[in-house]
């Protein structure tokens, strides 16, 4: 999915699925990224507390380092998670819906054609 950690391929290298789904598609990935950065922040603070470091060290790391480095670390994971959620969960039943729409359109056309035959 990624050419390198900060650059995505436009298409899946194995199945050709296009990752460019239009404006705003990766807005969901932003929320994933936020959640991941919060998790990283909590883990780092817990680790520093357990290591017995002073409060100022913890405050500097929590307020300066994690907000800068966290999003860079979370970026590829957040996009992978978002694409997975979008592909696996938000499109459930879409093929069935498309098949149903196609069948309804076919019936509508058949009805229209038969009523036109009666009229002539
Ligand atoms: Zn693929």
Gap from CA of 14 to ligand 1 centroid (Å): 5
**Helical H runs in 11-65?**
27-50, 55-60
Range 9-35 average pLDDT: 88
More confident residue, 13 or 34: 34
From ligand 1's centre to the CA of 15, what distance in Å? 4
Chain segment 59-69, per-residue pLDDT in tens:
988 888 888 99
Q: What is the pLDDT of residues 63-119, one digit of tens each?
A: 888 889 999 999 999 999 998 888 888 777 677 778 888 999 999 999 999 888 887
What's the CA-to-centroid distance between 17 and ligand 1, angstroms?
Answer: 5
Position 16 pLDDT exceeds 90: no
Q: How far apart are CA 101 and CA 58, in angstroms?
A: 58
What value does the mean pLDDT take over residues 18-42?
90
Q: pLDDT at position 77, please?
A: 94
Joined tokens for residue 103: 């069948």
* Separation of CA 46 and ligand 1 centre (Å): 37
- Which residues have CB less than 5 Å away from ligand 1 (the ion)? 12, 14-15, 17
CA of 6 from ligand 1 middle (Å) equals 19
Q: Distance from the CA of 13 to the center of ligand 1, in angstroms? A: 6
Residue 10 confidence (pLDDT) above 80: yes
Spatial neighbors of 26 by CB under 8 A, at least 6 apart, are 79, 82
- Ligand 1 centroid vs 74 CA: distance in angstroms? 21
């Amino acid at each position: 999915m990624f050419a390198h950690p900060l650059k995505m391929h436009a298409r899946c290298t194995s199945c050709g699925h296009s990752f460019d789904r239009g404006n705003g598609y990766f807005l969901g990935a932003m929320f994933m990224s936020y959640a991941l950065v919060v998790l990283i922040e909590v883990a780092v603070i817990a680790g520093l507390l357990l290591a017995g470091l002073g409060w100022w060290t913890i405050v500097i790391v929590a307020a300066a380092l994690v907000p800068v480095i966290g999003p860079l670390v979370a970026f590829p994971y957040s996009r992978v998670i978002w694409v997975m959620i979008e592909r696996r969960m938000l499109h459930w039943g879409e093929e069935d819906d498309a098949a149903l729409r196609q069948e309804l359109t076919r019936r509508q056309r058949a009805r229209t054609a038969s009523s036109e035959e009666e009229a002539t």
